[in-house]
Amino acid sequence: MGQSEPLQDNAKEKRGLFGSFRRSGGSSFSLPGTLQQEMPIDLPGTIIQPNGGTGRVLVVDDDKAIRALADFTLTSLGYQVMQAETALQGVNLYREKFEAGERFDVVILDLTLPGGMGGKEALQKLIEIDPTVNAIVSSGYATDVTMSRYQDFGFRGVIAKPYEIAELGKIVHDVMAEAASTSFRIVRYTPSTD
């Protein structure tokens, strides 16, 4: 993006694939073509720096663009990321890595996945493999009861789509930090209303 291009015009072009991923003074991503991070500096507001960290994250989502966005964001924050398109692939990949001693620190599970097994069912399979699995439920359907009562289903966190950089980094960081502590509190990211 050239310095002379108006940010507002460019932001409108980016909405086609994901909607707007930028709040005033925040960050936005553009995935069509090349992956690039845009950090507007000429807009008023405070830039919220996403939380970085280290660890292994499995992203299970049927939407290739969402997987790519999560992968790019979390990798840039320092995490090692693997992806799965279906719940079955995610469960099998988790089992394979767990048995090899390469446990995932966090799993982000889309609530609605093709193939008959959704995020809730996948989590139950993951708990059978590893009772200490740290899963975050993810969905674009904010009205689903799982999103509001995620802890009742065994999830340790929740994030709504579309993802924002700071939100995704914060929830992954917070869930991992809580899992590492002696108290396993449930972590919920509540987005601010701008």
Average pLDDT over every residue of 70-98: 96
Domain map (residue ranges) of the chain: 8-38, 56-180
pTM score:
0.70
On the question of pLDDT at 184 being above 70, the answer is no
Residue recorded with tokens 């049927």: 62
Say which residues have a Cβ less than 8 Å from residue 152's Cβ, sequence separation at least 6: none
Average pLDDT over every residue of 27-53: 50
On the question of pLDDT at 186 being above 80, the answer is no
- DSSP H or E stretch at residue 58: strand 56-60
On the question of pLDDT at 99 being above 60, the answer is yes
Higher pLDDT, 193 or 59: 59
Percent of the chain with pLDDT over 70: 68
- Report pLDDT digits (tens) over 107-165: 999 998 887 899 999 999 999 999 999 999 998 877 777 888 888 889 999 999 888 88
Contact by Cβ (8 Å): 135, 123 = yes
Q: Report the mean per-residue pLDDT for the chain.
A: 76
Average pLDDT over every residue of 89-113: 96
CATH code, residues 56-180:
3.40.50.2300
Contact by Cβ (8 Å): 117, 147 = no
Total count of residues recorded for the chain = 194
Nearest one of 81, 61, 72, 75 to 38, comparing CA atoms: 72
On the question of pLDDT at 4 being above 60, the answer is no
